[in-house]
Copies of this chain bind each other. A is one copy, B any other.
């Protein structure tokens, strides 16, 4: 039996980083992984500028307030000329302060009579002036390779004048479900059949993780069909992800099919939910087999597959757990690490009443997963690790 940490470590060690990149315009790069460090060729801001609408001043003596003579007007996009002591320039937010400026007064604090300006407040040297390079220094690495590009990152790339970026190509993932009992939603159910829910949840999780997903549907519980589909999928994808068919039951053909085509390890991992987990290789593709229970496949995706996919694109994607007080007591957990479906209520995490791995409503209800360490006792009020599901994009 592997611990969660051992299993994740082995999996990440086996993740081959893909090196193909593509160059995209900024608006097309949302959610993508930056391929190379971006170094700024310029300082941001590129010039000392006004943080306010008001007046740029050349103050001769900050201890003795005086009147200023307004000699010019500088809008954003304009440049002014140097101010002599006692001179002022009408200025707007973002406009360059002229040479000689040593403070900006907000217009709300100013009285102007024709060209004579008085300031109602005490002036501080440098006030309301944003300095060149305050945000980004020329030559600085603004975003590192391996970073997922969100809204702020795209804004910063634009701010340093970068209009196109090299990003890692998307992973191509083939998704398979196995099980004679599975029926597609929208079709009628015969006795003993169930609807295939993993297919839809995992396709969404994969897309949220930035992958191109080819959903190959349900393969029957037959060795030859399973093998043929796996071979085709492996030839055209980086990763083949399957659910069901990896337990020790006699009805599982996926194990034999993968072994006939490549190599497979069946791991027993000390995790709840989600014990059976398979990983291996078919040609140049990774194979990952998740449990068939919908909650188990969801949790094992988050705990193992998501970091594995991130590592393949060179992205660092740790579990962003936060520590919060428990709103429950567990007298002594089992010897597996448990990922319980939970919600934050008034600053404490509370558990969904039914933590069975068959109960998908628990995941819909949950804001996140409480991580209960192996054999731990948790008492109400103890700090526990909570993994918000919304942070996993």
Contact = CB atoms under 8 A, between A and B. Distances in A.
Contacts of A1: none
28 contacts: A27-B204, A45-B358, A51-B358, A76-B179, A93-B247, A95-B181, A95-B192, A96-B192, A107-B249, A134-B356, A135-B359, A150-B389, A151-B202, A154-B201, A155-B197, A155-B294, A155-B360, A156-B364, A157-B185, A158-B185, A158-B195, A159-B195, A163-B185, A163-B187, A320-B390, A388-B388, A388-B391, A390-B391
B208 A361 contact: no
A33 B357 CA distance: 27
A250 interface: yes
Given A47-B191, A77-B180, A142 B204 contact: no
Given A201-B152, A201-B155, A77 B134 contact: no
B391 A194 contact: no
Contacts of A152: 201, 298, 360, 363-364, 366, 389
A344 interface: yes
B179 A359 contact: no
A143 interface: yes
A134 B53 contact: no
A77 B179 contact: yes
Contact of A361 (B76, B142, B150, B247): B142
Given A203-B27, A347-B322, A390-B320, A155 B298 contact: yes
Contact of A185 (B26, B181, B323, B347): B26
Interface residues of A, number: 103
B143 A360 contact: no
Contacts of A15: none
A257 interface: no
A92 B155 CA distance: 53
A77 B156 contact: no
A184 interface: yes
Interface in A77-110: 77-79, 92-96, 107
A193 B248 CA distance: 66
A194 to B, nearest CB: 7
Nearest to A386: B322
A124 interface: no
B53 A247 contact: yes
A292 interface: yes
Most chain B CB atoms below 10 A, which of A26, A45, A198, A366:
A26
Interface in A159-202: 159-164, 179-182, 184-187, 189, 191-202
Contact of A200 (B136, B155, B189, B247): B155
Contacts of A130: 356, 358
Contacts of A163: 184-187
Contact of A364 (B45, B153, B203): B153
A209 to B, nearest CB: 10
Contacts of A154: 200-201, 203-204
Interface in A5-51: 26-27, 30, 42, 44-47, 51
A374 interface: no
A61 interface: no
Given A390-B320, A391-B388, A197 B294 contact: no
